[in-house]
Every structure is written in C-alpha cells, then in structure tokens.
A and B are shown apart, each in its own frame.
Chain A
Amino acid sequence: MADSPTEDQELLRQLAKGNEVAFRTLYERYQGSIYGFVLHMSGNRATAEEVTQEVFMLLIRNPKSYQPEKGSVAGYLYGIARNLARRAMLHSYRHVELNNGLGPGAGTESGLAMDADVLEDLSQEELIVALRKAVVSLPEQYREAIVLCDLQEMNYADAAEFLDCSPGTVASRLHRGRAMLKAKLSCYKCVK
C-alpha cells in the first residue's frame, strides 16, 4: 500500500514544516484509496468527499499527532478515515438495506443455495448496481474486509494492520462477507 513507510514519515515531517510539495505527494499517494474506501463503505459520494477532505485537513492542522511507533502513515490515515466514515454513517443513517422486505433467509448464507448462478444471469450493469448495494448493506466488519481486500486489493497483512486485528480474522471476515454477498445477490435475483 505505502510506497515506503519511512518515506511517508519523512514526507510527513516535511509537511509539518510547511513543505507543500510533501503535502501534495502524500495527498496524491493516499487520496484515491481513502476516497475509494469511504465511498465503498458508505455508498455515498458526498460522504466520501467530506471524509477525504477532513482526513487531510486533520493532517494539515496536526501532523504531529501521528506516532510512528503505532504503525504506518497509511494505517494512520485509514484509521482516521474509518472513524470519520463511521461517524458520518451513524449520523446520516444512509445505510442501504437490501434485506428489507426480501423475505426470510435474505442476507444470510442460507440464501446461497437458492440460486448459485445469479451472478451469471444479471447483466453487467445490474450486477454492479446490485453488488454496490449489497456491499453497503453488509455489517461493518465484513464490509471493511470486502472493501479493503476485494475492492482495494490490499493483502491480508495490511488490512489487518488497518483494522487492528490479525490476518486470520481478516480472512475469516472476508470469507463470511463474501458468503453474505452471494446470499444478498441471490435474493436480489429472487425479487427481480
């Protein structure tokens, strides 16, 4: 994820001194992944923009709040983004609930048996829309794993650092999250 943790730390030191090039470099390096992470977590573009802006504003205002012994700069930024996104989502209650009115078994692994070929049957556009909604409707811990590992193609170790858990836990959450996704998509097909 990070090009080099020590390089990031040096950039952050330079940023604290007022070096705009260092700030731009850090911003260009992480804005995309942070924006994508919040966008997939919240399913809301405005929230993603607000959170991305707020993460870097905090970095501008208080760059010394980063403690190298606690982890990488990337992990620190993701941590801020995660907390801000969680707060924003709690505040707005913009969760997309696919489960509502979809019948029993929706959103659970039991739904998987209903139609395994659902992904094949949906058009590409429909699939993406359905998948986006399904991801947003996942419980937070599974959603985080899916977003980081599947959508942002992060390895388990990095995801574990950002989520403050073990790589085994990440793998377990990912497996469970995927199963729930399949179940939700099956249900989507049922409704259609």
Chain B
Amino acid sequence: MREMNREVNNTEARLSKALRSLSATSPGSAPPEIGYALAEAFRRHHARRRMLRRSALAAAIVTLIALPPVLVLSRQHGIGTASQNAHGTVTNAPSPAGVHSDLPPLKRETTSRSGIRQRVVATKTATKTKMNPVARRDDFVPLPTYSLRSQAEDLRIVRLQVNGRDLRLVGAPVSGDIDERPVLADFVVGQDGTPYAVRLLRQNVR
C-alpha cells in the first residue's frame, strides 16, 4: 500500500515537472507584430473618435450660434401672423349690410337675453336635425336695431336656437308658419347684447 502511494506521488511529481517544462517551453507572449497592429488600430480608432467628437462639437456650436437669430425671426413672424389674425377677426365682425359666409369660427355663447329662449346647440343634435336648404342663408339680415353707429362697436356672433316667433319679435323676416319651430340662427350682437343682424342656419323639422 505504502509502495503504491509512493509510486502515485512520484508520478504526480513527474507530471507536475513535465507540465512546468511544457509551460516553460511554450512562448510566453504573443508575437510583437500583434502588439504593433493593435497599437496602430488603437491610434486609428481614437483619431476617428476624436474627429467625430470634434465634428459633433462644431455642429453644436454652429447650432447654438445660429439658433437665437432663427428663433427671433420665427417669433417675429409668429407675432406678425397672430396680429394679422387678430385684426382679421375684428374686421370680419359682420357688417349686417351683407356679410358673407367666410366668417371665422363661431363662438358658442349662452348669453341670456330676455324675450329669446336660447339653448346651446350640441353637436349631437345635428344627427336629429335635418338640413333645410331653403332655410339656410349665407348672408346676415340686418335687424331694425341695426344702425351705422353699431358698426363701431365690438361685435360678436352668437349661435342660438330660437323659435320662429322669437325671431319675428326681434325683427327677423320670417313667416308665421314657423312660429313654433326651433330655428338655428347666428346673431350679430353688440357689447350690450343687442342683436343687430341675424343669419338663419337651419330649421329643425319635427
């Protein structure tokens, strides 16, 4: 048994020695050409990286320099357009003597006025109503309250649904046949709510 153990130990020692010899005879480093090639690759890689970084930096600087003037110009342009639009709204305020349908989008308002039953018209009601091409008018019709002085006022358009009778009461030229029928109409009103003109849009058919 002891002999066997000694034999095994000897073999282990010899194997270790042989492995050390193998390690010693093996090349301890890669060929120098690999080192040169890698150093070259390193330099190329970082030269390219530095160039890209410089380009990006230059682009950023150019953008920073160019941005303020561009912003100022676009802002000025924006202000100009906005003021033109604002002016357009004012001038587009209907002149009851013959305003056409190219009016700016209407504001829905629920200004309460005595004598006129009004309702805000929901879009959903459109499905329940039927357009009456005869009832629709593109032009505003001046009401008896209209005067030249009213043109100087800040006018607004209010869309309302009123009965035919109410329309007749404010002076709109509608027949007695539609007294009980609701009619959708745009009213040009002054600052105090006085209606100066009306445009009939549609008449609900019951």
A residues with a Cβ closer than 8 A to B are 18, 20, 23-24, 27-28, 31-32, 34-36, 39-40, 45, 48-49, 52-53, 56-57, 60-61, 112, 116-117, 119-120, 124, 127-128, 131-132, 135, 146, 150-153, 178, 181-182
Contacts and interface: CB of A to CB of B under 8 A. Distances in A.
A151 B7 CA distance: 23
Given A32-B28, A116-B11, A60 B18 contact: no
Interface size of B as a range: 20 to 34
B91 interface: no
A57 B26 CA distance: 24
A178 B12 contact: yes
A150 B41 contact: no
Given A20-B46, A36-B26, 4 more contacts: A23-B39, A127-B18, A128-B21, A152-B23
A131 B38 contact: no
A interface: dominant SS: helix
Given A32-B29, A119-B18, A120-B14, A18 B46 contact: yes
A128 B25 contact: yes
Interface string B29-58: 111001101110111011001100000000
Nearest to B8: A116
Given A40-B26, A182-B15, A20 B38 contact: no
A132 B22 contact: yes
B22 A128 contact: yes
A119 B14 contact: yes
B16 interface: yes
A130 B25 CA distance: 13
Contacts of A28: 35
Contact of A146 (B19, B43, B50): B19
B176 interface: no
B29 A35 contact: yes
B38 A60 contact: yes
Nearest to B46: A18
A120 B50 CA distance: 60
A23 B30 CA distance: 16
Nearest to B34: A53
Nearest to A117: B11
Nearest to B35: A27
